[in-house]
């Protein structure tokens, strides 16, 4: 099983106790502002079921994030393979989603750096991408803080959103193994 520890956080396998708080943050319209719609309880549970086997197998995944000091579950951060076709596929993406009261503490950045270290370390990846709606500035700031570069020519219209949707346009960020190793 893959598990990552940082100064303040534990990135771990999901437990039964995570389902309810994860559904709650997925139902929070503020957390889901840059998504087409809040995620239903059923879809929230299904996401957990989908990612558990990858973590159990010791590979990369969307890890449940826990604050070590309190043991509190605050959301997920990690690596996954996008489930849609795009010009940058095949690719592995890095992503994060935290409960609102866990924002503004540097947790997403801290968890993302550990995820990149796993991706370029044990997982042996050569490049990791990230993308989000152009409106999602907080998420882009995490991408910038962890050393990713905006590939402006790579920005794209998300194929799962109908043309003209307010969230259709997406930015694409990238980081290569060489860039990661040169970070110092
Ligand atoms: C994207 C998201 C995780 C970003 O959260 P965030 O709190 O802005 O990012 P971080 O956890 O890295 O925290 C950084 C902030 O904490 C501050 N901070 C406070 N204490 C800190 C510490 N000890 N260390 C580092 N940063 C600290 C930083 O200054 C920064 O604040 P700023 O943005 O005002 O400069 C959050 O907005 C979210 O979950 N959104 C909903 C889901 C989503 O949109 N996901 C992405 C979809 S693609």
- Domains annotated for the chain, with CATH where assigned, are 4-181 (3.40.630.30)
Contacts of 91 (CB under 8 A, 6+ apart): 81, 82, 127, 128, 129
Residue 18 DSSP one-character state: G
Average pLDDT over the chain reads 97
Residue nearest to atom 14 of ligand 1 (CA): 106
Q: pLDDT of 145-166, one tens digit each?
A: 999 999 999 999 999 999 999 9
Q: pLDDT of 59-82, one tens digit each?
A: 999 999 999 999 999 999 999 999
What is the distance between the alpha carbons of residues 138 and 106, in angstroms, rounded to a whole number? 11
Ligand 1 center from residue 95 Cα (angstroms): 12
Ligand 1 neighbours by CB, cut-off 6 Å: 31, 34, 95-98, 103-109, 132, 136, 138-139, 141-142
Contact 118, 79 (CB under 8 A): yes
Ligand 1 center from residue 34 Cα (angstroms): 15
Regions of the chain where pLDDT drops below 50: none
Residue 123 DSSP one-character state: T
Ligand 1 center from residue 55 Cα (angstroms): 24
What is the distance between the alpha carbons of residues 181 and 170, in angstroms, rounded to a whole number? 27
């Amino acid at each position: 099983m893959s598990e990552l520890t940082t100064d303040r956080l534990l990135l771990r396998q999901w437990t039964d106790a995570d389902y309810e708080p994860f559904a709650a943050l997925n139902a929070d319209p503020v957390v889901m502002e840059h998504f087409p719609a809040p995620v239903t309880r059923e879809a929230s549970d299904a996401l957990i079921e989908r990612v558990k086997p990858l973590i159990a197998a010791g590979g990369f995944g969307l890890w449940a994030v826990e604050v070590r000091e309190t043991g509190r579950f605050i959301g997920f951060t990690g690596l996954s393979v996008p489930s849609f076709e795009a010009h940058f596929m095949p690719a592995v993406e890095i992503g994060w989603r935290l409960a609102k009261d866990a924002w503004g503490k540097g947790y997403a950045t801290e968890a993302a750096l550990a995820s990149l270290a796993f991706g370029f370390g044990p997982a042996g990846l050569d490049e990791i991408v990230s993308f989000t709606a152009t409106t999602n500035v907080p998420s882009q700031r995490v991408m910038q803080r962890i050393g990713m570069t905006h590939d402006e020519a790579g920005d794209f219209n998300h194929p799962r959103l109908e043309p003209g949707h307010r969230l259709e346009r997406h930015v694409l960020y990238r980081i290569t193994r060489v860039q990661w190793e040169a970070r110092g």
